[in-house]
Amino acid sequence: MHKSGFVNIIGNPNVGKSTLMNAFVGERLSIITSKAQTTRHRIFGIVSGDDFQIVFSDTPGIIKPAYELQHSMMDFVKSALEDADILIYMVEVGEKELKDEAFFAKINKMNVPILLLINKIDKSSQEELENQVAYWKEQVPKAEIFPISALEGFQTAEVFNRILELLPESPPFFPKDQLTDKPERFFVNEIIREKILLNYKKEIPYAVEVETEAFVESEQIIHIRSVIMVERETQKGIIIGHKGEALKKVGVQARADLEKFFGKQIHIEIFVKVNKDWRSNARQLRRFGYKE
Ligand code: GDP
Ligand code: K
Ligand code: MG
């Protein structure tokens, strides 16, 4: 017998969704920072064994969309709610002030198993944790509750084993050696975007999109050419920085991660271009893979 299914991870921004998926897959497929809206796409992380295949979906955090890009991000969340075989709803210790009754009502009515993971318990006391479990039992009675630490790997094996038990009988959806649905260039873009999230303040990271124009692999080395797209001339100046120092730092940091990710020497050139209001432009969003 072979089991296979879609296990979709949803939750508020910054609760640790990407950290959990990477931990299960054993690769840094999803970028992680302490900033909300780090994850903009729905990303598959595929874990296969002899008789099972779990297709995890990492998704953007749930937000009220303010512009077209964020609408597309929430469409990824919606589709993850619709096609799950098992739903992982992740919360973090102490987030109960973000109560959303309509959302709870919706997931309580879903007819797939729901695992409600209370993450970051490394930061909580035993008493606080007990209160949290009681609270979530009341809000989402349908869910099985697991207190975990995605970062420290606490109780994540238990969650994984429960997923294996709940997984429906099915042939695999992807070749057994496939790790993700995204092409190599996607991960180049994401690694560069992570460095932008880490190096620039305020609005800058949210105005940025990265596009990789060339990815040429030979036996020894991968040659990459990427473009950082911003919405305004002033943002371009900030990205490049005084004498190009800021952009150089992004390049050095990205290259180090790319070498780890691809296991090869990397040569990378990064340019900055203005692409006015790309975040609000449906055609541009389609081009960057945010829309069908
Ligand atoms: P996402 O926005 O839900 O995908 O969250 P991320 O995976 O990007 O994580 C957001 C932040 O929470 C990062 O700084 C992570 O290192 C941190 N984080 C994730 N899991 C844990 C955990 O179990 N414990 C603690 N203390 N921090 C965590
Ligand atoms: K985040
Ligand atoms: Mg994320």
| Among 192, 181, 176, CA closest to 239 | 192
H helices present in the chain, as ranges:
17-25, 68-82, 101-108, 126-139, 156-166, 184-199, 233-240, 245-262, 282-287
151 lines ligand 1 (CB under 6 A): yes
Distance CA 276, CA 58 (A): 29
Q: Count other C-beta atoms under 10 Å from residue 201's C-beta.
A: 7
Whole-model pTM: value is 0.94
Among 53, 31, 50, smallest CA distance to 40 is for 31
Q: What is the ipTM of this complex?
A: 0.99
| pLDDT at residue 85, as a whole number | 97
Which ligand number lies closest to the CA of residue 10?
Answer: 1
- CA–CA dist 96, 138 (Å, integer): 12
Classify residue 157 by burial, with Cβ atoms within 10 Å: 0-12, 13-18, 19+.
Answer: exposed
CA of 14 to the centre of ligand 3 (A): 7
Ligand 1 pocket test, pick from 9, 19, 42, 129 with the greatest ligand atom count within 8 Å of Cβ, gives 19
Q: Spell out the per-residue pLDDT of the chain, length 292, in tens.
A: 999 999 999 999 999 999 999 999 999 999 999 999 999 999 999 999 999 999 999 999 998 899 999 999 999 999 999 999 999 999 999 886 567 788 888 888 899 999 999 999 999 999 999 999 999 999 999 999 999 999 999 999 999 999 999 999 999 999 999 999 999 999 999 999 999 999 998 889 999 999 999 999 999 999 999 999 999 999 999 999 999 999 999 999 999 999 999 999 999 999 999 999 899 988 899 988 997 7
Residues shown for the chain:
292
Separation between Cα atoms, residue 165 and residue 172, nearest integer Å: 16
What is the 243 CA–ligand 3 centroid distance (Å)? 33
The pLDDT of residue 94 is: 84
The Cα–Cα gap between 247 and 252 comes to 9
- Write the residue with the smallest CA distance to atom 22 of ligand 1: 120
